[in-house]
Copies of this chain bind each other. A is one copy, B any other.
């Protein structure tokens, strides 16, 4: 790996000082967008290499590159169309794209794919999700949103809800939160999809308090942030068990009534029923603001990768 390059591979690479710098840079990017963008990346090229579809994430990165004056090449369906089907290794693909662009944003189905790419790339690599592994830019925008909404992350109580085993965003977000003081995390999930032990071990090492429970109602009234995620049907032995579980984790008007007046609801989106539409009008529903924050975080990260941060 070329250590002189700035890659974004996993949430654990960020310490508090870097998070503070990144969030300050993201805040500046809000001003850049409000002013109609700028041209600091004019002539630079980003490749989006998505082996797994993710329209939302891809468009967010492409918008970020364009807002800074750069251009984008890429494929929205690398798995089906690229030379991967001709038997080419990921490493060969990356070596070649190194010659065509200045930064690679990639999503892959396999854990560790972004790290493998970074090892042979001659340009920075940004991990936009690697299977059940990590999704660091999502976690960064999640944390940035909390910081914006409360003015701080230190001292907050944060509940993560849903499929905590396979949902990579809650893993990455846990690693980010581990940089803050006096944070309390509630992992709220059916037992079969609770937070993995390797995440808990990391939190233990960092001295972060957390509690596992399956009871959202009991916790809802005392937290600052409810971070909702999807529960996937295929994780459960039967449809009945799934429905019993899923029904306990829906955020609706009744649950909002239990929540604190200054609390917020987040969701990495897309949602599929686990936050009802009646919640959207509540000012505590912060998930669309959260989605929009992804643009600023990604602008700041791309600029940093290309040494064009202010």
Contact = CB atoms under 8 A, between A and B. Distances in A.
A76 B73 contact: no
A101 B69 CA distance: 14
Interface string A151-192: 000000000000000000000000000000000000000000
Interface string A45-85: 10100000111101110110011010111111110111100
Contacts of A36: 43-44
B97 A59 contact: yes
Contacts of A92: 269-271
A2 to B, nearest CB: 15
A295 interface: yes
This chain: copies in complex: 3
Contact of A100 (B86, B87, B295): B295
B95 A288 contact: yes
B100 A59 contact: yes
Given A60-B100, A96-B291, A67 B45 contact: yes
A37 B70 CA distance: 12
A237 interface: no
A134 to B, nearest CB: 19
B63 A96 contact: no
Contacts of A88: 269-272
Given A45-B66, A55-B81, A86 B270 contact: yes
Contacts of A87: 270, 272-273
A58 B82 CA distance: 10
A62 B87 CA distance: 23
Contacts of A78: 55
Interface string A86-108: 11100011011111110000000
Given A43-B37, A270-B86, A288-B96, A53 B81 contact: yes
A21 interface: no
Interface string A118-140: 00000000000000000000000
A235 interface: no
B76 A270 contact: no
A121 B268 CA distance: 19
A38 to B, nearest CB: 8
A292 interface: yes
Given A53-B81, A95-B291, 15 more contacts: A36-B43, A53-B82, A55-B75, A55-B78, A59-B74, A60-B100, A63-B73, A63-B100, A63-B101, A66-B73, A83-B270, A86-B230, A86-B270, A87-B273, A99-B294
Query: Lowest 9 CB-CB distances: which A-B pairs, in order?
Result: A87-B272, A99-B292, A88-B270, A53-B81, A83-B270, A63-B100, A55-B82, A37-B43, A62-B73
